[in-house]
Amino acid sequence: MDSDGSTFGTSAYGGPGWQGRTRSHREEIGDLWAASGIDSEYGRLRAVVLHRPGGELAAALDDPDSVQMLAPLDIGLAGEQHDAMAEAYRANGVAVDYVDPAGQPTPNQMFCADLFVMTPEGAILARPASTVRAGEERWVARRLADLGVPILRTLTGNAVFEGADLMWLDPETAMVGLGLRTNEDAAAQIAAVLEEVGIETLAVDMPYGTMHFMGMLRIVDRDLAICWPQRTPFATVRALEERGHRILWLPDEPDSVLNRALNVVTLGPRKVLMLAGYDSVQKVYEAAGIECVTVDGSELIKAAGAIGCLTGVVRRDPVG
């Protein structure tokens, strides 16, 4: 500022010393923002967020249906199995961070995959469809912000969306499953965000009586997808085939087996973390060249979810 008090020509007002921001938002990720983002379901997994379940599981002891669970859980054993899953991630080079809600968490807080979804430029926060889970996304938002992950959108209005209903078919295409947990309002808001970063969004109806899109499709490599016969939507299979994917169909087994054996997280191309004890399906995976790392989740599945549901994916190596 000069002697007469004028600010003209100072750096704060664009004069000498002003340093304009020149990089794009995406160029600042990994530097100004934390390294984060995904553009596929199979790029090497680098970072996840989890919530270790604890005393909140007591809510399922008397009436599991009231908190959308299948049976009462042994709280101690559930925690131990969750710890083993986290250690399996670390053993495979994956950074693990935890959501740590203030006070008593809601019973389903551990299902982090439902609470956000990553894009190449940041997170889209979910808006869970049931009152039982309403607000869980706030704690994930806080943790992502603490980690330095950019948040691109919070869904508004009457949109409901859970992250397990969005899958990346390729680096330019995401597919959203419409059903019990995700509606058309949410799909439209997500499509608007993704369009801004050059991503096409396809929406597909899911069969009545199913929970999440994740439960009928997993993509484990650039050219290999696992699908559930008579449950994966026709339009999904056609979109995968058009993009060069070979379809590995699940074998003929009871729904309870297929539901849990498909609830995997891809650690990298043709390598998955899955529940132990589903040998018939594991053999199908291995015959297709998929390496399987297994952990026991026999207690956790009583909460109506497994490894894929429990894992919020924050970062994968880009493949596009």
Identity of residue 191: A
Residue 18 lies in a domain: no
Residue 281 lies in a domain: yes
Residue 161, token pair as written in the block: 């969306």
Residue 89, domain extent: 35-316
Distance between CA atoms of residues 240 and 216, nearest Å: 13
Q: What is the mean pLDDT of residues 88-100?
A: 97
CA distance readout (Å), 220 to 175, 190, 251, 292: 16, 24, 17, 11
Residue 27 lies in a domain: no
Q: Are 225 and 40 in contact (CB under 8 A)?
A: no
Of the chain, the end-to-end C-alpha distance in Å amounts to 49
For residue 154, the domain's CATH number is 3.75.10.10
Residue 14 lies in a domain: no
Position of tokens 């590995």? 248
Q: What is the mean pLDDT of residues 315-320?
A: 95
Residue 11 lies in a domain: no
Residue 8 lies in a domain: no
pLDDT band at 308 (very low <50, low <70, confident <90, very high): very high
Distance between CA atoms of residues 200 and 166, nearest Å: 12
pLDDT band at 6 (very low <50, low <70, confident <90, very high): confident
Percent of the chain with pLDDT over 70: 99
Residue 140 lies in a domain: yes
Percent of the chain with pLDDT over 90: 96
pLDDT band at 5 (very low <50, low <70, confident <90, very high): confident
Q: What digits encode the pLDDT tens for the residues 219-251?
A: 999 999 999 999 999 999 999 999 999 999 999
Position of tokens 């083993």? 84
Residue 1 has pLDDT above 60, yes or no: no
- SS3 per residue for the chain: CCCCCCCCCCHHHCCCCCCCCCCCHHHHECCCECCCECCCCCCCEEEEEECCCCHHHHHHCCCHHHHCCCCCCCHHHHHHHHHHHHHHHHHCCCEEEECCCCCCCCCCCCCHHHCEEEECCEEEECECCCCCCCCHHHHHHHHHHHHCCCEEEECCCCCCECHHHEEEEECCEEEEEECCCCCHHHHHHHHHHHHHCCCEEEEEECCCCCCCHHHCEEEEECCEEEECCCCCCHHHHHHHHHCCCEEEECCCCCHHHHHHHCCCEEEECCEEEEECCCHHHHHHHHHCCCEEEEECCCCHHHHCCCHHHHCEEEEECCCC
Q: How many domains does the chain have?
A: 1
For the chain, how many residues are written? 320
Q: What digits encode the pLDDT tens for the residues 11-67?
A: 999 999 999 999 999 999 999 999 999 999 999 999 999 999 999 999 999 999 999
Give strand pairing partners of 151: 123
Q: What digits encode the pLDDT tens for the residues 253-296?
A: 999 999 999 999 999 999 999 999 999 999 999 999 999 999 99
Residue 320 has pLDDT above 90, yes or no: no
CA distance readout (Å), 295 to 80, 88, 218, 309, 320: 11, 8, 18, 14, 31
pLDDT the model gives residue 3: 63
Residue 280 lies in a domain: yes
Give strand pairing partners of 47: 95, 315
Q: What is the mean pLDDT of residues 144-161?
A: 97
